[in-house]
Amino acid sequence: METLGEKIKNLRRQKNMTQADLASILYVSRSLIAKYETDRISVDKETLEKIASSFNVDISYFISEEINSTLINETNRLINYLFKAFFIFIILLSISFLLIIVLPIFQYSTYIYDGVNIPTHLYGDISLITACFKKNNYVALFSLISIIINISLSFTLLFLNRGKIFTTLNIINVIFLIISIILFILTFAYGLNYMSMVDFSMNTKEAIS
């Protein structure tokens, strides 16, 4: 598809006109015509009307293509913006999952009985991944791996132009996003299950006496 500049250049050549000839008709410099023809600057509507009149063509010959080109550019810009917003969302969501899994934001509480002495009260902070490891359950580890892959892919896609590689990586990224969500839910469920078995408290600020 011809650009606006290419159309101006082709029509000028068909009329056997030089850039200087067209410049004298429009009362502009030859260098400005060169910039128009190489699409380095946009042509305002008034100048475009003069060009159309000089070549005896309807202005729609230029404007329709210009509108289509502008619409395509705006659509592509919007799609790129939405993709970037989606990748940033995945990165932030993944970081949230990661922090919830690895930080000791929960507090456990349990008593040890030896049958003779007063029961010993043990309590402290614990993370979901630690809770899962105490049950010899490694779902939290798999969850972390999936989350890290998600963050890496999303960060890479932020700076990658759309194409075959972009599409392939994006599909893989979405698949890992689904896997990460499932594994996070499992990690949370297993962690809470362990915590409930040891009289676990969700309140991290209240000291249990």
Check pLDDT > 70 for residue 188: yes
Check pLDDT > 50 for residue 202: no
- pLDDT band for position 91 (cuts 50, 70, 90): very high
Q: Which two tokens stand for residue 128?
A: 């979901």
Is residue 203 assigned to a domain? no
What integer is the mean pLDDT of 148-164? Answer: 94
Is residue 105 assigned to a domain? yes
Report pLDDT for 200.
45
Check pLDDT > 70 for residue 93: yes
d(CA 20, CA 31): 9
- 164-195 as b/e: b if 16+ CB within 10 A: eeeeeebeebeebbebbbebbebbbebbeebb
Domain region containing 135: 79-197
H or E segment and range at residue 20: helix 19-26
Report pLDDT for 183.
96
Q: Which two tokens stand for residue 201?
A: 């408290």
84 shares its domain with 183: yes
26 shares its domain with 86: no
185 shares its domain with 83: yes
The per-residue pLDDT for range 135-151, each reduced to its tens digit, is 889 999 999 999 999 99
Q: In CATH, what number is assigned to the domain containing residue 9?
A: 1.10.260.40
With CA atoms as reference, report the closest residue to 51 among 39, 59, 41. 59
Q: How many domains does the chain have?
A: 2
**What mean pLDDT, rounded, does the chain reach?**
85
Long-range pairs, 38-47, Cβ under 8 A, ≥24: 38/5, 39/3, 39/4, 39/5, 39/6, 40/5, 42/4, 43/4, 43/8
With CA atoms as reference, report the closest residue to 127 among 99, 96, 97, 104. 104
Report pLDDT for 128.
92
The per-residue pLDDT for range 26-84, each reduced to its tens digit, is 999 999 999 989 888 888 888 888 998 999 988 877 776 656 666 677 788 899 999 99
The per-residue pLDDT for range 1-30, each reduced to its tens digit, is 678 888 899 999 999 999 999 999 999 999
40 shares its domain with 83: no
